[in-house]
Each structure stands twice: as C-alpha cells, then as structure tokens.
Amino acid sequence: MYKRRMKVFLALVAGVFVVLAAKLYQLQIVEGRDFRVQAEEAMRSRELLPVRRGMVTDRRGRILAIDEPCFDFCLDYRFLKADPVWVKRQKRLLAVELARREKLDRPAAKEAAEHLYQQRAAASWAAADELARREQVGLRAQVARVTDRVEAIRRIVNRRHVEDVTVREEREAHSIVAGLDTQTAVALQQRLGGMIGVEVRPSHKRTYPAGPHACHVVGLTGEVTGEEMARRNMDDRCPWQDRMRSDYLPGDAIGKTGVEAMCERQLRGRRGLRLFRLTGETLREEPGIQGLDVHLTVDIDLQKQAEAMLERRGFTGSIVVLSVGSRQEPRCEVLAMASVPTYDLNRYRQDFEELVAEKVRLPLLNRAVTQRYQPGSTVKPLAALAGLGAGVVTESTEIECRGYLHEPTAFRCWIWEQYRATHGWLAVRGALKNSCNIYFYEVGDRLGWRKLGDWFSMFGLAGPPGTGLPNEKAGTVPDEAHLRERGGRDFTRGEARLMAVGQGPLTATPLHIANAMATIAREGVFLTPMLALEGGPKQVRQDLPLNPAHLQAVREGMYKVVNERGGTAYKYFRGPDAGDLGGIEVCGKTGTATTAPQRIDSDGDGRITRSDRIVRTGDTAWFAGFAPYRRPQIAFAVCVEYVEGGGGKNAAPIAIELLRLCKEMGYVTP
C-alpha cells in the first residue's frame, strides 16, 4: 500500500516537473526572444522629435512661407484626463510643501493642499481659456485633438505588445494653444507658480512674410483631418518606426490650399525619433529631416504691383503674366498670378468668419485658376485659327458686316449696337482689328460647335490649366459629355456662333486665356504653365498643327488691334492720352463678355435663384496679348469683373501699366 502511494506521489511530482520543464522550454527557448524584447522595451521609452516644414520662396529667393520660432501653451496629459494617480501625487507634494513652509500638521496640510490644487487647476484652465479665446481656437476641440493624438500613438506602439502599455505621450505636456509671441510667453512664465500641469515650450509656427500678396498662390496649412490621415498614412503592416516618423497624427499641420497643398510631400519633412532607457541613456537617435524648400516662378514684386493695379481702381478680377520663350526654346513660367481681393495669410484664422461671410467680393476665391468666365472676344484669335485651319475661310476670305448676321434683332455686331454702324467687308486681319462679331459668327456657323470645340481644346481650354494647384478648374468647352448632361439635346447653330465670340456655353479662367496667348506667341507650341520648380506636375508640351501663315495672319491682326488706327485698343495704346511704352510693340485683343448679374442667397434657402437679391451688375472686361510683337517674351491676360464699358476702357489701361512695369523689371525689352 505504501509503495503504491509513493509511486503515485512520485508520478505526480514527475508530471509537475515535466510540465514546468515544458513551460520553461516554451518561455526560454520558443518564446524567449519575444519576452526578452518585451522586457527590454519595458525599460525603454521613445520621444518624437519635431521637424520644421520647408520654405516657399519666389523666383528671386524671397521668402513667402517659413516656420518661425514661437511658444506653445501646453497642459500635462494626466491633468487633461484628471488621472487619479497623478492628481493624488500632486496633492501629496503640495501637502509636503505646505507642511514645511507653513508649519502645518498633517491633516491641516492635506486639507490646505486640496484647496490649493483646486485653485491652481482652475487658474490653469482659466489661462488656457483666455489664450484660446484670444487666438480664436476652440479649447474643447484642442483637448480632444490631444487625446486623439495620444490614442493614435498608442495604437501604433501597442501593435508590438500582447497587452496595452503606457506610452510616453501619456506622461507629457501637449500643446493646447500654439504660436504665442515672446511677450505673451514671458508673461505666462511669471504666472506658472500659480498654476499646475502647465508648461510654456519653445516651438515654431507657419508665417507668411508677404502677408496678403500672392495669398491664393502660396496657400495655407491647417490641422489634418481623419479623412486625410486615412488616405495618406502608411498601412498598419508597415514597420512601426517608419509609421511613427512619417504618419500624420491628430493635430499635425498639412497643406490645405495653394502651393502648401500642392507641394505637401516636399514641404512636410520627416519626424525624428529618439529611443532611450528609463535611466536616461540614449540608445538610438534618428534626427528629423526638414522639409524641402519649394521655389516658385512668381516674382513677388511683380505680383504685388499687379494686385495693386486692380485694388487702386476698386476692381475685382485677375491678372496673369507668363514667360513665353520661343518655338526653339519654349518656356511657360508664371511670373504673376494676381487675384483681387486678397486676404492676409497670417490673419486667416482670426479673420475666417469675416472672410467666409463676404459673399459679394469673395476674397477666398482664386479667380486666376478657379473662376470660369465667358472670355468674350479674347478667343477670336483662336476662332480665326480654327476657321483658317479647317479651311472654312482663307486669309483673303471677306465677310460682310452689315451690323447684324441676318436680321437686326439678333446676332448683332457691337458697332451696330453702339453706333448703328457697320464694318463692311472684312478678311481675318481686319476682323481681328475691329473685333467684328459678324465675321466670327459666320466662322462659328461654318465650323459647327464640335470642330470649334476641338480647336479650343487644343489650346488647353477644356482641361485644367496645369499648374497643379488643388482648386484649378477646367474651362467649359462643349463636347459629347455635355450633350449627355443636356439629355442628348444638341447644341444649336446659335450656340456655335456664340462660342466663336467667347459667349454662350464657352468659359475659361484667366490663366487659360493668358496661356492661349502664349501659345500663339511661341508659334503654336503649347506648354502647361509652370508655377513651382519642385513638387508641381510635369510640364506638358504639344506642338499644335498650325500653319505658320495662319499664325502670322492672326498675329498681324492682333498687332493691328493695338497699333493701327481703328483698332479696338488703339486709342488706349497709341492715342493722345496713351503713355510711352519705350518702343515695345504689343499684340493684343480686347474682350467684353455680357455677364449675368451677381446674386447672393438673400432668402437663406441654400440656393441662388432669380428671386435672390442682385448685388452686382455689369460686364466682364478683358485685355489679353503678348509682347513684343516680333520677339515675344511675355504673355498676359487682364480680367475685370462687373464693370460698365468694354475691355478697351477697363482692362487695356491696366495692361499698359502692367507692360511698363514688366519693362522696368526686365521681363520685356524692345
């Protein structure tokens, strides 16, 4: 009996040892490496090192956007979450301090510490609220952003662990109000003794030295959204170190508009990462990689003056200036791309509500690439090339202008409407010089809307201009897709006639028109405009199938517009009141597009209808062209909204001032 019991006992003991041995084998041999890694990780921590965003400069290296030093108001994460362990420790430290300083016994010190903690916590929240109101940021939203950011880091780090671990960010202070100036930071430092859980840290913020100038081009940064993070961040399967350094976290800045958005990959940079033991020993440090600088082709001085030309006259509109080069060495760089009114990039956050509420002048709208206008007679040179290229007219084909096409009640020429006069018989050069509607109505009639649309598309009007700016719009050139949108209803001959004079269903942005002028100037070489030397789209070149003789006829017609008596811009460039351009010969085209009145949503139903209030009326006035005539160096377009009178009266004087300035700055030489 005894022996049997001993055998059972020894068997049980042996079984226990076998189980223990198997477990030790599993822990030390099978899973030993993983546990060693986890043990080492438990003794480590890591810190994200901030990185500065790259600069944006103009073509001469002048800074348009830069990260500059500032200070951030920060609150400890444990204070934000009212972590009971942390709060208890702070109260205990206060009690010890009060007991020593005030000679209080333990119960009295504990009670006083409770009161003092509440007082200092209230002071911390009061300071946060005061700064948030002054800087016009939502305090609750900022606290939620910090929480979301820490949780995002937890998700990345905890992918390496079986159980959740505490990440460093849960023991740190986080920025609640950023971008404080030195004076505010010094004042806060003096008040820190009366607060708890507060730090004032050196930081940097995005600033824009040019302020309102080129604001629509440079653009803005803003806080990254959840949708943007989901779209841009790495897959969860990627190494966690790469994700920590590259992923967007809640609260990170990202380019929202303009070049800031277009060149986000170049400008953003890559965070640094420091791994260290809890004893403070640094194990590895990977420094941050600062974002790359982006150099624009824009000249900020030319841009400022272009904006001022519109602002002085009280106009809203756009001015675009492009380099041209030649057919042999074509260039197409944006020298200026003004949109007026502007707004100060440095005050965008403070002025946001006012900017959004401005429904008449629309300061946030980039008119150069986003606003589509009917281009009026500025497309007549393109229509002439279409007619000549398709063979529906020749250089010598004459069409009679009787003041109207068939009857005086419809399809009239501007000269009939204003003076009850006619242009008589005209060929292509004279039709351009006099901007004769009847000639181009006939060209549109003979071509039809499909062929005319194909030619306009060749000059880039059907697609986005090609700078790469996020909000640039394609023009409207009727095609089969538009037919489907109209339920299959065909465009009429009347609409084809209107397209030939830049009205009806045809629209384009000022950059489209300036680039069309540049294409004519460089003898049929089409290039998409380049705005950024880094980070923008690849420039597209296309040699258009244009007959050199046809191009020369159109260029001569545009020369006559400005330089020959009777041309629609002659009196502004060559008349007694015209200024001296220093020998620069200009080819140009006036344009006046009848424009529907501007209405606002006055009844608040979320739609703009004919019952809503009219706030502006008038025409869209244009002047576009290139200079000099025989050796073009720049092309340009001036577009003015809601004015009385034509392009000659309103836009041509601005073009003259612009050309003088370009000559002074060396962009045009005789």
Give the pLDDT confidence of 399-426 residue by residue, as tens digits. Answer: 999 999 999 999 999 999 999 999 999 9
DSSP symbols for 432-458: HHHT-HHHHHHHHHHHHHHHHHHHHHH
Q: What local confidence, expressed as pLDDT, does residue 27 receive?
A: 52
Whether residue 18 has pLDDT greater than 80: no
User: In which domain, by residue range, is 115 found?
Assistant: 46-295
Q: What local confidence, expressed as pLDDT, does residue 167 receive?
A: 76
The pTM for the full model equals 0.87
**621-640: burial string, b at 16+ Cβ within 10 Å, e else:** bbbbbbbbbeebbbbbbbbb
Sign of CA dihedral 646, 647, 651, 653: negative
Average pLDDT over residues 299-327: 97
Conformational region of residue 254, where left means phi above 0, alpha means psi within -120 to 50, and beta covers everything else: beta
Angle between the N-to-C axes of helices 548-563 and 510-521, in degrees from 0 to 180, rounded to the nearest 10: 120
Query: What separation in angstroms does the CA of 11 have from each of 5, 20, 23, 226, 387?
Result: 10, 14, 18, 61, 106
Mean pLDDT of the chain: 90
Q: What count of other Cβ atoms lies within 10 Å of the Cβ of residue 275? A: 15
d(CA 156, CA 168): 13
Task: Note whether 235 and 333 are same-domain residues.
Answer: no
Q: What are phi and psi of 363, to 5 degrees?
A: -65, -25
First-to-final CA distance of the chain: 124
Q: Is residue 41 part of a domain?
A: no
Domain boundary among 295, 314, 348: 295
Task: Note whether 189 and 313 are same-domain residues.
Answer: no
Q: What are the pLDDT digits (tens) for 209-256? A: 999 999 999 999 998 888 998 899 888 778 877 888 888 888 889 999
280 confidence band (pLDDT: 50, 70, 90): low
23 confidence band (pLDDT: 50, 70, 90): low
Q: What are phi and psi of 102, to 5 degrees?
A: -100, 0
Task: Note whether 287 and 314 are same-domain residues.
Answer: no
How many domains does the chain contain in total?
Answer: 2
Task: Note whether 304 and 275 are same-domain residues.
Answer: no
Q: 101-105, 306-310, 385-389, 449-453: which range is least confident on average? A: 101-105
Q: What local confidence, expressed as pLDDT, does residue 153 receive?
A: 83
d(CA 282, CA 568): 75
Q: Is residue 3 part of a domain?
A: no
Average pLDDT over residues 534-556: 96
Q: 9-13, 87-91, 516-520, 582-586: which range is least confident on average? A: 9-13
285 confidence band (pLDDT: 50, 70, 90): confident
What is the CA angle 611-615-618, rounded to 5?
110
Q: Do residues 197 and 121 lie in contact, with contact meaning Cβ atoms separated by under 8 Å?
A: yes
Angle between the N-to-C axes of helices 493-500 and 437-458, in degrees from 0 to 180, rounded to the nearest 10: 90
Task: Note whether 545 and 560 are same-domain residues.
Answer: yes
The SS3 call for residue 385 is: helix
Q: What local confidence, expressed as pLDDT, does residue 337 receive?
A: 98
Whether residue 473 has pLDDT greater than 60: yes
Whether residue 41 has pLDDT greater than 60: no
Q: What local confidence, expressed as pLDDT, does residue 202 receive?
A: 86
Task: Note whether 466 and 604 are same-domain residues.
Answer: yes
Question: H-helix or E-strand containing 110?
Answer: helix 106-135
Any residues with CB less than 8 A from the CB of 47 and at least 6 apart, and which? 168, 273, 274, 276
Q: What local confidence, expressed as pLDDT, does residue 43 receive?
A: 42
Q: What are phi and psi of 515, to 5 degrees?
A: -75, -30
Task: Note whether 306 and 325 are same-domain residues.
Answer: yes
Q: Is residue 19 part of a domain?
A: no
327 confidence band (pLDDT: 50, 70, 90): confident
Task: Note whether 374 and 248 are same-domain residues.
Answer: no
The tokens for 407 are: 């009857």
Beta strand extents in 515-602 (DSSP E only): 525-527, 541-543, 587-593, 598-599
Task: Note whether 558 and 615 are same-domain residues.
Answer: yes
Q: Is residue 17 part of a domain?
A: no
Q: Do residues 286 and 272 lie in contact, with contact meaning Cβ atoms separated by under 8 Å?
A: yes
Task: Note whether 479 and 559 are same-domain residues.
Answer: yes
Q: What local confidence, expressed as pLDDT, does residue 237 receive?
A: 78
Q: What local confidence, expressed as pLDDT, does residue 165 receive?
A: 65
Q: Do residues 294 and 266 lie in contact, with contact meaning Cβ atoms separated by under 8 Å?
A: yes
Query: What CATH number corresponds to the domain at position 487?
Result: 3.40.710.10
Provide the total of helices (H) and of strands (E) in the chain, helices listed first: 25, 21
Query: What CATH number corresponds to the domain at position 103?
Result: 3.90.1310.10
Domain boundary among 252, 272, 295: 295
d(CA 554, CA 330): 20
Q: Is residue 32 part of a domain?
A: no
Rg of the chain, C-alpha, whole Å = 35
Beta strand extents in 393-551 (DSSP E only): 399-401, 424-426, 525-527, 541-543
Whether residue 485 has pLDDT greater than 70: yes
| Amino acid type, 531 | L
Q: Is residue 12 part of a domain?
A: no
Whether residue 91 has pLDDT greater than 70: yes
Conformational region of residue 258, where left means phi above 0, alpha means psi within -120 to 50, and beta covers everything else: left
Task: Tell me what percent of the residues of the chain surpass a pLDDT of 70.
Answer: 91
Q: 52-56, 112-116, 384-388: which range is least confident on average? A: 112-116
Q: What are the pLDDT digits (tens) for 29-40? A: 655 554 444 444
Q: Is residue 209 part of a domain?
A: yes
Q: What count of other Cβ atoms lies within 10 Å of the Cβ of residue 668? A: 25
Task: Note whether 501 and 544 are same-domain residues.
Answer: yes
Longest pairwise C-alpha distance within the chain:
136
Q: Can you name the residues that pair with 72 across neighbouring β-strands? A: 201
d(CA 395, CA 316): 38
Q: What local confidence, expressed as pLDDT, does residue 16 receive?
A: 65
Q: Is residue 8 part of a domain?
A: no
Whether residue 157 has pLDDT greater than 50: yes
Q: What are the pLDDT digits (tens) for 607-643? A: 888 889 999 999 999 999 999 999 999 999 999 999 9
Whether residue 438 has pLDDT greater than 70: yes
Beta strand extents in 416-540 (DSSP E only): 424-426, 525-527
Task: Note whether 277 and 344 are same-domain residues.
Answer: no
Question: H-helix or E-strand containing 205?
Answer: strand 198-207
Higher pLDDT, 202 or 398: 398
Strand 334-340 vs strand 317-323: parallel, antiparallel, or unpaired?
A: antiparallel
Q: What are the pLDDT digits (tens) for 569-611? A: 999 999 887 778 888 999 999 999 999 999 998 888 888 888 8
